[in-house]
Amino acid sequence: MKIKNKRPIDKIAKNIYFWLGRTFVLIKKTKIKTWQGIFAISLIAGIAIASIAVVSLDIQTKSDAAGEVAILSLSPVSPTVANGGTFSLDIMLDTKNSNVVVARSVVSYDPAIFQLQGFDLSSSVFKSSLDCGSANNNNGACNIVINDTANGKLDLTVFTTAPGVNTSNGRVASLNFKAIGNNVRKEIKLNFIDKGNYSDSDVIASGNDGKDILLAVTNATVTVGTPVVTCTSFQYTSWSACQSNNTQSRQITSSLPTGCIGGSPTLSQSCIYVPTCVTSQSTYSDWSACQPDGTQTKTKVTPMPTGCTGGEEVLTQKCAYVVPTNPCASFEY
């Protein structure tokens, strides 16, 4: 395989030479035919650099990637964002109790729907004090990046030294996107073809064989909706009765503009609470004499609790009025 353009990985390994049988290994110019050659290079330059050479230069070796177990995934898997809004996807790694030194994530997306605004490795599980040589160092995580925003493709390789990373839910990187489509559901993918294929995403095991142990990937489907409009005008119900905490509330019956959400409605206010009188606690006068209309009344003497008003009390009741008789005082005969 001839390397036409000088890439970061070329600079890392350009002075590494090794004689193995009839094959003269020169990463910058030729190809590596056996994993023993990779291991020989690792003795000189470190397993991480040897493995990264295989992944980033698309060098196919004799390894058949047997025993693949690792999983790469995008999280969250079903985010929703408004048109013009931003969101993040984390590339997560499950090594299934294997030690790995390299993770390559080939991410593809529709550039008419999404804009990749950047990536963050500050919390990557591959973050270390490793000297990255001619590769990039993003907050301590060594990486080689091919970022093709015009065609919607990010090729991100991160690596560290042996024994490497062993994690069930480790963040490789965080990708920051902006949604520029509208009313659409679209997938953002981790490209994965098959085990041992070095043109797709890969997870390279630590050790002297440098196997690609990636078994599967999980993609994300992003829903892009209409722009969010904030409510600016509200219609309400009447205020409720004042409560014992000296507040009263109301509900929204409608809001403008149509389809808006949020805003700053006034749903509560302070008030002076006046308790309702309790009949069983209050004291009353005796019933008055029955009146000609057939009723009698009583009055509240001591309302309880103090300061109360109203209440379910009976201050008037029916009675049987008896017409009084006046004895005759004189008679005519």
**Domains of the chain with bracketed CATH:** 8-56 (no CATH), 70-225 (2.60.40.680), 233-270 (no CATH), 276-318 (no CATH)
Count the neighbouring beta carbons within 10 Å of the beta carbon of residue 114: 23
Residue 22 corresponds to which amino acid?
R
The reported pLDDT for the residue numbered 125 is 93
**Per the structure block, which two tokens stand in for 166?**
């062993």
Instruction: Identify the CA nearest to 9 among candidates 176, 157, 167.
Output: 157
Count the neighbouring beta carbons within 10 Å of the beta carbon of residue 30: 14
* Contact between 190 and 172 (Cβ < 8 Å): no
* Whether the model pTM is above 0.75: no
Instruction: Identify the CA nearest to 213 among candidates 71, 62, 105.
Output: 71
The reported pLDDT for the residue numbered 281 is 80
Instruction: Identify the CA nearest to 144 among candidates 43, 276, 53, 70.
Output: 53
pLDDT per residue over 81-99, tens digit each?
988 899 999 999 999 999 9
Residues 6+ apart with CB under 8 A from 95: 69, 70, 165, 166, 167, 168, 170, 203, 213
- Determine the straight-line distance between the first and last CA of the chain, rounded to whole angstroms: 154
| Residue 109 to residue 176: CA distance in whole angstroms | 12
Regions of the chain short of the pLDDT cut 70 = 1-67, 129-140, 196, 198, 208-209
The reported pLDDT for the residue numbered 160 is 86
| Residue 49 to residue 169: CA distance in whole angstroms | 24
